[in-house]
Amino acid sequence: MWRPPSWWVIPALVSTTSAVYLLKRRALASRALVLGAVFLAGALTIQVRGSSDSGPVWLGVGEEVLVSAHVVAEGNVQLDGPAELHQRVDVETEKIESAASTSVTHTSAAQTFPAQPTEVHAGVRLNIYSRIEGSDSPQAPPAGAMQLFRHGQRIRFPATLIAPRNYRNPGAFDYAGYLREKGIVATASTKYAAIQLLPGFSGSYITLGLARIHRSVIGKVHALWPERVAGLMDAIVIGEESFIDRAARVGFQRSGTYHVRVVSGMNVSILAMFTLWTLRRVGLGEVAASACAIILIFAYAVLTNIGPPVWRAALMFAVYLATRLLYRDRAMRLHC
């Protein structure tokens, strides 16, 4: 149910101001008002996120189209079968044009989309495949067999864009919703030989730097450990799960230890406490050590790009260190 933003913003501000005023007079009423303000802020967030959807985009009417796009999320070159390479990247489209020479129009939801060159900015999850010539069972991807597409590179490729769908089994994973949260509105597959590199760079240089650091960490891990162990270390250290094969995933699921290979608050806590202890041992003061530890943990949260679990742990660690500087010690109570 859509409401004007002022319906959420004004009551939230009033609730927050009243909570501060009643903090020392009526603590219970102050807490209730804070919860109300959180609820109103959440309602506003949901409404804003919902209204950001620009509606349906032209995906080519089920025909093959020629897509010009740039890479926004890098993938990894992996073996997919005995003699096939696979790479998955997320791209943002710049222009979509029909591969056919005739002009076609498509009507959907009372909106008409032109089939000839159309500027469309939408996220697409692209799967790239390539056959390996002269080898039936390679143990690792041959060097140079498939180029790794980097963040910001512009490419053009033919593909059929397909809107993601969910399995209709009860309790099935909401794959379409998962992709929608990442800004992906379509999936596509193409052959590596059909991709054309375009000149120029499109994207953020900050994101490019983070992607390079992420790639550097993966390279160091794979240089130190065998391939099978390196895939597990990638998942534990920076949340990169693309090198874990299906058999290993199923094994973790059946043994109930799947959480071990997921970056979560435990990883953040171990890194945070080790960092703080080390900084204190080298002679930094409480304020300097806390500030450096907070910066490092936030940088780690950005590098892993996992989402709420890591950011929640990082924020709580920052709150803990900040409250220590205000002489507020931790209070742990055990209830039997």
| pLDDT, tens only, 135-152 | 555 555 565 678 889 989
> With contact defined as beta carbons under 8 Å apart, do 305 and 273 qualify?
no
**DSSP 3-state of 44:** helix
Of 74-78, 130-134, 230-234, 276-280, the poorest mean pLDDT is in 130-134
CA distance 62 to 163: 10
- 1 — pLDDT class (breaks 50, 70, 90): low
The token duo for 208 is: 């490019």
Report for 129-138, 184-193, 277-286, 293-302: range of highest mean pLDDT = 184-193
Mean pLDDT over 163-177 rounds to 84
What pLDDT score does 109 carry?
A: 36
**DSSP 3-state of 185:** strand
For residue 306, give the nearest of 224, 214, 222, 217 by alpha carbon.
Answer: 214
CA distance 79 to 139: 8
For the domain spanning 65-202, the CATH number is 2.40.50
DSSP-assigned letter for residue 62 = T
The structural domains of the chain, with segments of one domain joined by +, span 5-51, 65-202, 208-261, 265-325
- Percent share of the chain, pLDDT over 70: 83
For residue 161, give the nearest of 64, 253, 49, 28 by alpha carbon.
Answer: 64
For residue 162, give the nearest of 188, 196, 143 by alpha carbon.
Answer: 188
What pLDDT score does 104 carry?
A: 41
The token duo for 197 is: 């590199």
Mean pLDDT over 262-287 rounds to 84
Q: E-strand spans in the chain? A: 65-73, 78-79, 84-98, 105-108, 111-114, 123-131, 153-159, 184-191, 196-201
Report for 10-19, 174-183, 266-275: range of highest mean pLDDT = 10-19
What pLDDT score does 71 carry?
A: 92
Element (H, E) at 312: helix 308-325
| pLDDT, tens only, 10-22 | 888 888 889 888 8
Helix, strand, coil shares of the chain as percentages rounded to 5? 45, 20, 35
CA distance 283 to 271: 19
Q: What is the mean pLDDT of the chain?
A: 80
Q: First CA to last CA across the chain, in angstroms?
A: 44
On the question of pLDDT at 108 being above 50, the answer is no
